[in-house]
Chains A and B, each alone.
Chain A
Amino acid sequence: EVQLVESGGGLVQPGRSLRLSCTASGFTFDDYAMSWVRQAPGKGLEWVGLIRRKDFGGPTEYGASVKGRFIISRDDSKSIAYLQMNSLKTEDTGVYYCTREVDIDYGMDVWGQGTTVTVSS
């Protein structure tokens, strides 16, 4: 079964850091780019960032609201994608989903169930 499982969410104080993990199974992880998407309470979906496949150089792209604070990485040997969140703000609170990406002409075809991050003092 193709599956993505997020972990690492929790309560963190503003200004601190947190790292989320996304563990993939049921498919060849190396063949896909991976994205992170979040949803703040009562708000819509917001794209956070993406990491390409290693054979495409593995470069990353980020949304404007997290650029310079969040870092996405991947460990293909473990089939895990990471979201390192630094200098957290209260507005970073929400549910964080990891998703599988193919290319420009497709979409986010596999989603995890999400992990909740709460930034509060």
Chain B
Amino acid sequence: ENVLTQSPATLSLSPGERATLSCRASQSVSHFLAWYQHKPGQAPRLLIYGASNRAPGIPARFSGSGSGTDFTLTISSLEPEDFGVYYCQKRSNWPALTFGGGTKVEIK
């Protein structure tokens, strides 16, 4: 079973700071990884696909990197609206899909 592990579980930062979120797969997923943002009471939103491609309408402060087993989502300068929970998703066994456990980005 290919498990996705996200770290840290919680990230406490101030607006303007840089956020670095990690997602690690127990086996290689090549570049077939997506990132989503989820805020309370809202539907999740696709941020990054193919490990490093921003989805349409996603601000340039969001960037994804990595391949194989180690991936990173970076928010270069946090805006107030960026606080929420971020999930990575393994897509290498499509149509079978898996989410990581999530990283909560909260206001310090």
Contact = CB atoms under 8 A, between A and B. Distances in A.
Interface string A5-44: 0000000000000000000000000000101010000001
A45 B55 contact: no
B89 A107 contact: yes
B23 to A, nearest CB: 13
A33 B96 CA distance: 12
Contacts of B99: 37, 44-47
A82 interface: no
Interface residue range, chain B: 20 to 34
Interface residues of A, number: 25
Contacts, number: 66
Nearest to B49: A107
Interface string A76-117: 000000000000000000000100010111111101111000
B43 A106 contact: no
Nearest to A111: B43
Contacts of A113: 42-43
- Max count, chain B CB within 10 A of own CB: residue among A45, A104, A107, A113: A107
Contacts of B95: 33, 50, 52, 59, 61, 101
B94 A108 contact: no
Contacts of B62: none
A104 B91 contact: yes
Given A47-B89, A104-B91, A108-B34, 7 more contacts: A46-B99, A59-B95, A97-B44, A105-B91, A106-B34, A108-B89, A111-B43
